[in-house]
Structure 1
Amino acid sequence: MTADGRAPYASTYRAYPGRPTALVGATIYDGRGQRIDNGTVLFRDGKVVAVGDASLATTGYDRIDGAGKFVTPGVIDIHSHLGDYPTPSVDAHSDGNEATSPMTPEVWAEHSVWPQDPGFTRALANGGVTSLQILPGSANLTGGRSVTLKNVSSRTVQGMKFPGAPYGMKMACGENPKRVYGGRGRMPSTRMGNFAVNRQMWLDAKAYDGKKRDLGKETLKGVLDGDILIHNHCYRADEMALVMDMAKEMGYKVTAFHHAVEAYKIGDLLRENDVCSAIWADWYGFKMEAYDGILENAAFLRQAGACVVIHSDDANGIQRLNQEAAKAQAAGRRAGIDIPDAEVVGWFTYNAAKAMGIEEMTGSLEPGKMADVVLWNGDPLSVYSRPEKVWVDGALMFDAMDRKRRPVSDFELGQPGEGDVK
């Protein structure tokens, strides 16, 4: 807390102005598994007012004809490094890994976020992304705090911070930490070293009395108190099972395993422990712990009743989360697992919001929630479809049919010319 008792680096986000809007005649996927044909979505003052069929009255709303088009909640990416590894990808912009110690719970991803990253506007316009979680990298066993952002233009990261969103804390297991630190002649250099260092960190955190401020232990105490959510980079099923046991031993909960290419092997354990799997559709085999990745990962998890989230971890992939979800759905169909389109949309909307602790505010089209809305020019699970309009808190932030509604990062506005003051 600051000297006057306020949270440090508090959100200063204020929604852009919007107009009462009625989307009529479109196919609606509400993010909770419901499909409404020839439906209507009403929103005003930044909130969803009603979602239903063509009988909803639209008096007092600007009507937008959605015939032949589709409406979904705003897309949410649970795993992004935009701003921390911004474009252009040069060493001077590499701010996602504080690779100086295997345990850095004291660092906060938001203190590296560059709001001018062109990736933010690309994600909005090409992918319909309205909210995203920015995580530290995975070099460390404990990488630090994550931050959840609204995908809007702002001069400061505080102006993007999602109001009321809980912090996350990034952890990692497996190859990355032992590779980064083992070669330096110190722990961890093995998977057993990973767990030993982690367990000692939690024991030290449990003994923290707060009398002398320690930034790292403040974050860890937030996790133990249930205020900060654990997002754990982990590939192998056996390690995920061990991490869940360590969480029980130390008194915290894992909200999601990220990447999780072997999650399909332990779908029942993930369901029983209420842990989501944030996964790719088809990335695998690029290192040994990713060797057993399969295309049917999402489908088998869903069949086991576990929570599926499609994530990006990539500045290009974040623009195509809808297509990635469709690929995962198609792999399931080939395996005899037919998953309805309306449910698959939840993999990149509501389920992501749930794992990020913001599902009461966004992630689905329900009365009272933020009017984070995408109008697609076709089926969102088709490779041929793109966002036509995107609203964030009821404000039209992108319109493919209006050049004035195509946001551009400050960084892209130009460079000073010869003779200008540098």
Structure 2
Amino acid sequence: MVGFSLALWSAWAGESALEVLDARGRAAVEVFPAAEAGRVVLADVTVLPVSGPRIEKGHVAFDAGRITAVGEGTAPALDGAVVVSMPGHVVTPGLIDTHSHLGVYPSPGAHAHEDGNEMVRPTTPGVWAEHSLWPQDPGFERAIAGGITSLQILPGSANLIGGRGVVVQVVPPRGGRAMRFPGAPETVKLACGENPKRVYGEKGGPATRMGNLRGQRQMFLDALDYQRKWREYDEALEKQASAGSATPKKKKKGE
């Protein structure tokens, strides 16, 4: 099975009716938690930078949740900074999990909330993993403990097109919408191979890999046609608005 995600980018110019609806669907219902103000310095730590050699005795300085300094020895003086000495500890960049099912398949598992696969037909591009996301999944705490700071949470691999994924930061709030990584692109989950064959092989197909690819190809062709129809609809509305229309004549008394 090959599971992968593709960024969805609109080819339309301007704002269409469909884009307005989509923007409303993605609008925040809960504010993303702001980084705590303040300055913190992790001192006497082993640092593994993104680039450059390992630093055996170094420091990492933060200001309002942002890294401001990484280096050897003692950190530069920061007014009001809280210094945390951590000898024997290792600091690494935050890890990014690009293929996760946390929140849609909780760990430990709970059958009532295993909501990662909408197995009603082979293609379900209209469903969003975000809407199944359970922020209280205990797995998020384990992810944080393992150094993961961001994840792409995807639907499962049962369907040829399983639906939209969501890129989140691991800051579990009350609602999944607030976990969204600001500015991250929209993604969609596709799968091809044994999982769709296993699920749909005896339910009308697709039963083979060539059937898998045919189904995906047809959905993209259908999507292009749907996009074309929306574009024509928007163009027709624009023409109607620019042409103007005569206002109804005022009725005479007694009519």
Is this contact kept in 2: 1:22–1:58, CA < 8 A? no
2:36, 2:110 → 1: CA distance? 36
1:205 to 2:223 alignment:
yes
Q: Aligned-pair distance for 1:137?
A: 0.3
1:34, 1:104 → 2: CA distance? 46
Letter in 2 for 1:72: T
User: Could you say what secondary structure the match of 1:96 adopts?
Assistant: coil
1:20, 1:89 → 2: CA distance? 39
- The residue number in structure 1 matching 2:240 is none
After the TM superposition, which residues 379-394 of structure 1 pair with which residues of structure 2 at under 5 Å, given as runs?
none
Is this contact kept in 2: 1:24–1:63, CA < 8 A? yes
- The residue number in structure 1 matching 2:142 is 122
Normalising by structure 1, report the TM-score: 0.46
- The residue number in structure 1 matching 2:109 is 89
| Bigger mean CA offset, 102-111 vs 68-77 | 68-77
- The residue number in structure 1 matching 2:26 is 9
Is this contact kept in 2: 1:136–1:145, CA < 8 A? yes
1:74 to 2:94 alignment:
yes
Aligned positions, number: 210
- The residue number in structure 1 matching 2:182 is 163
- The residue number in structure 2 matching 1:103 is 123
Is this contact kept in 2: 1:182–1:189, CA < 8 A? yes
Is the radius of gyration larger for structure 1 or structure 2?
2
2:84, 2:228 → 1: CA distance? 55
Deviation digits for residues 109-160 of structure 1 (CA, Å, limit 9, x no counterpart):
0010112222212322x31322212110000111111111111131111121
Match of 1:172 among 185, 188, 191: 191
1:65, 1:24 → 2: CA distance? 5
2:205, 2:52 → 1: CA distance? 46
Letter in 2 for 1:8: G
Deviation digits for residues 205-245 of structure 1 (CA, Å, limit 9, x no counterpart):
233335459xxxxxxxxxxxxxxxxxxxxxxxxxxxxxxxx
1:210, 1:157 → 2: CA distance? 32
Letter in 2 for 1:177: P
1:32, 1:100 → 2: CA distance? 46
1:33, 1:168 → 2: CA distance? 32
Deviation digits for residues 6-52 of structure 1 (CA, Å, limit 9, x no counterpart):
45233431224243011122111123464222122111112111212
The two structures, once aligned, show a CA RMSD in angstroms of 2.2
User: Could you say what secondary structure the match of 1:159 adopts?
Assistant: helix
1:33, 1:45 → 2: CA distance? 25
1:119, 1:43 → 2: CA distance? 27
2:224, 2:202 → 1: CA distance? 30
User: Could you say what secondary structure the match of 2:46 adopts?
Assistant: strand
2:190, 2:219 → 1: CA distance? 12
Distance 1:112 1:63, change over 3 A: same
Letter in 2 for 1:67: P
- Stretches of structure 2 that go unaligned for 5 or more consecutive residues are 1-18, 232-255
- The residue number in structure 1 matching 2:249 is none
Letter in 1 for 2:214: A
- Stretches of structure 1 that go unaligned for 5 or more consecutive residues are 214-422
After the TM superposition, which residues 3-402 of structure 1 pair with which residues of structure 2 at under 5 Å, given as runs?
6-11=23-28, 12-32=31-51, 34-54=53-73, 56-60=75-79, 61-124=81-144, 126-184=145-203, 186-209=204-227, 211-212=229-230
Distance 1:81 1:103, change over 3 A: same
Is this contact kept in 1: 2:35–2:64, CA < 8 A? no
Deviation digits for residues 381-407 of structure 1 (CA, Å, limit 9, x no counterpart):
xxxxxxxxxxxxxxxxxxxxxxxxxxx
- Percent identity of equivalent pairs: 50
Letter in 1 for 2:152: Q
1:66, 1:147 → 2: CA distance? 34
Is this contact kept in 2: 1:187–1:197, CA < 8 A? no
2:39, 2:125 → 1: CA distance? 43
